[in-house]
Structure 1
Amino acid sequence: MSSCLVTGAGRGIGRAVAVALSTAGHSVALTARNAAELAGTAALCPGPTLAIPADITSADGIEGVFAQVEKEFGPVEILVANAGGASSSPLAKITDEDWQAMLDLNLTAPFRCVRRAVPAMVDGGYGRIVVIASVASKVGEPYIAAYTAAKHGVLGLVRSAAAELARTGVTVNAVCPGYVDTPMTDQSVAAIVAKTGRSAAEAREILARKQPTGKLITVEEVSAAVLYCVSNGAVTGQALNVDGGALQS
């Protein structure tokens, strides 16, 4: 089976993806900033894992992660660029630092990971790249301009990379979730509570109603979409919505 790297693997979507890939028989390298959370993910994986604490907003951090994976597992054949984060602020109050932080984490870090992974994938004639994007890659909402701009950008990266690599055996896709039941959504709930005075339950219901199904997306639903992208070599350059029907293709 293949050598995998999952970024942001300590919790949430990244943890679910790592466990799913491991269950499918792959060797899975895990990276995130929090070593304890990585250990928790590794404990859930039935197959070989490699936990590498790192800050992937650093170019040196990314190089170190790839070098360690290559030493232990060989070249990365499946890359899931999941690490990301969101911020919320009125447009006029977004600072340059806020803007840059969203670009660094949600756009530049995935770009650097893709750039680092591609040469070995092309040389081997096989590769699967999946970026965890967002419905914010396709539509704008108030108060998340920096996050939305970064996610629109990363979808452009996916589409261009897929076109460039189409004849090489390497596929590049994005999975675009709606609001997922993760710690990041918990932060959104807390922000709504702080700004509006609503209860946490009311705030969570607001986010659940963003999906026509009336429910938050589960991490398992997202990881299933990732495995689909990994398993089907005819699927490339796509942005799969996992959003309860919010955006119809």
Structure 2
Amino acid sequence: MDQVLAGQTALVTGSTSGIGLGIAKIYAEAGAKVMLNGFGKPEEIAAARAEIGAIMGVKEAPYSAADMSKPDEVRGMVAEAEKQFGKLDILVNNAGIQFVSPVQEFPTAKWDAIIAINLSSNFHAIAAALPGMLARNHGRIVNVASAHGLVASPFKTAYVAAKHGVVGLTKSVALEVAQSQVTCNAICPGFVRTPLAEAQVKPLAEKNGVSEEVALKDYLLAHQPSKRWIEVEEVARMALYLVGPGSGGVNGSALSIDGGWFAS
């Protein structure tokens, strides 16, 4: 891959697996120095650090164990990245959790956690990273929202509310930085092929008495007209475009990558 991000530094939250790890990998392949963040089994985190580190030409990638539900830890993570790299050029807010329940039964603790991790952490990370970006008059912020940042589904009230909030936050920040060389955009993926998403297929098949292929297309991907998974690499390549050369005119956008979901 061309080294279009040579000399750039990046922090990607929720990057020990799934979409975040895919973004971290493509940034490292493009020449950036990348700090990882996220929860998981120690061996999985070690494997992610080793994988990204190998691409970067070091033993392991820098890593922050900051808890995205705790504002002080989020802001401290940004400060740690700036100290480690000397600057922070790219911030990707990707960390997120999900819980499904009828609204009248939705546990308060689950609501609070989803809002904190999926929305508030974005605010705290952006607020901490912007001073340095504005001082250098260069920076790229990418918020991984969701198709649910643009449309709603039942039983996902906290997630939908948080992701709609991420899109609104993206637009507001973009307007504040519009006359600088800093941009802020959101990516809105549909159902992406990750281990966590794929694990939903078998229970749907068993619940509805159908094959896993039918469960995928007719139930899980019911709103995704393409009837196929969005691949992690597809999302990562969109995230690469938004921080690479020629992307400076894209600001405040919520870019769909959902197989036609938002168009239907």
Task: Normalising by structure 2, report the TM-score.
Answer: 0.87
2:127 matched residue in structure 1: 115
Please tell me whether residue 132 in structure 1 is matched to residue 138 in structure 2.
no
Question: Superposition pairs for residues 137-148 of structure 1, below 5 Å?
Answer: 137-148=149-160
* Amino acid aligned to 1:239: A
Gaps of 5+ in 1: none
2:251 matched residue in structure 1: 236
1:17 matched residue in structure 2: 23
Structure 1 residues 111 and 200 mapped into 2: Cα distance closer, same or farther (>3 Å)?
farther
1:101 matched residue in structure 2: 113
Q: Distance in 2 between matches of 1:152 and 1:63?
A: 22
Moved more, 214-223 or 188-197: 188-197
Q: Indicate the SS of the match to 2:92.
A: strand
Structure 1 stretches of 4+ moved >6 Å: none
Q: Indicate the SS of the match to 2:251.
A: coil
Residue 199 of structure 1, CA deviation: 6.0
1:63 matched residue in structure 2: 75
Task: Normalising by structure 1, report the TM-score.
Answer: 0.92
Q: Is the 8 A contact 2:22 2:232 kept in 1?
A: yes
Question: Superposition pairs for residues 71-90 of structure 1, below 5 Å?
Answer: 71-90=83-102
Residue 43 of structure 1, CA deviation: 2.4
Please tell me whether residue 38 in structure 1 is matched to residue 45 in structure 2.
yes
* Amino acid aligned to 1:151: K
Q: Distance in 2 between matches of 1:243 and 1:237?
A: 19
* Amino acid aligned to 1:54: A
Q: Indicate the SS of the match to 1:4.
A: strand
RMSD of Structure 2 on Structure 1 (CA): 2.0
Moved more, 5-14 or 64-73: 64-73
Q: Is the 8 A contact 2:68 2:116 kept in 1?
A: no
Residue 188 of structure 1, CA deviation: 4.0
Structure 1 residues 187 and 101 mapped into 2: Cα distance closer, same or farther (>3 Å)?
farther
Deviations 1:88-111 (A, max 9, x none): 111211122221111011111111
* Amino acid aligned to 1:2: Q
